[in-house]
């Protein structure tokens, strides 16, 4: 599950990615994967990544477990050299949230998140993604055999909890497509109608 934010796609982005005759509203591009926002800020301008105008930026580790509460980090900017060329937006994909708006078709709230075994954990820089806005799909172009092999590899590391409350939250929270609620709290939604007794 994920949310595709298509309502704010700019004319420039549409012309660059979504106007290929016979493949309107579809595009393919390579991905560059970042594990959290610190990794993104540290490496976005690294020329060895080869980020160009046909690259999708992926950020993972930003869902309710990976980044307790989920973070607004999917609205990533291109590297400085592309901004200087007037390319202000690249397609983005992530298991976190996004604040504000973007001129690209952001794909956010990917669920289950990478920290919970979601498929973003299987992505590698250089993989090719196909996005089809007509059918609301985002697929990696890998064989089933390759995906199965990657599932056997060590998943991306999850930062340790920093408080007991984070540990409790991570142990009980559901995924974004279910509302990222603490699952153990769901039976108590009607607590206002039957208040617990006072403890003093």
Active-site annotation, residues: 99
d(CA 195, CA 184): 18
H-helix or E-strand containing 5? strand 3-5
**DSSP letters of 153-170?**
SPPPP-PPPSSHHHHHHH
As a whole number of angstroms, the distance between CA 47 and CA 81 comes to 9
Q: What ranges make up the beta strands (E) of 45-195? A: 55-60, 92-94, 106-108, 128-132, 137-140
């Amino acid at each position: 599950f994920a949310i595709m934010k298509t309502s704010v796609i700019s004319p420039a982005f549409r012309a660059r990615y979504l106007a290929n005759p016979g493949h309107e509203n579809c595009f393919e591009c390579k991905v560059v994967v970042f594990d959290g926002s610190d990794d993104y800020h540290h490496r976005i301008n690294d020329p060895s990544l080869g980020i160009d105008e046909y690259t999708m930026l992926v950020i993972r580790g930003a869902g309710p477990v990976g980044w307790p509460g989920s973070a607004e980090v999917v609205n990533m900017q291109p590297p400085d050299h592309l901004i200087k060329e007037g390319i202000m937006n690249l397609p983005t994909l992530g298991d976190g949230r996004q604040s504000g708006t973007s001129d690209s078709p952001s794909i956010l709230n990917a669920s289950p998140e990478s920290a919970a075994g979601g498929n973003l954990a299987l992505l590698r820089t250089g993989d090719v993604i196909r996005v089809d806005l007509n059918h609301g799909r985002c697929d990696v172009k890998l064989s089933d055999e390759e995906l199965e092999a990657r599932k056997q590899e060590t998943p991306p590391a999850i930062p340790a909890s920093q408080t007991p409350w984070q540990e409790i939250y991570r142990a009980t929270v559901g995924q974004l497509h279910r509302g990222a609620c603490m699952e153990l709290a769901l039976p108590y939604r009607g607590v206002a109608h039957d208040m617990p007794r006072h403890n003093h």
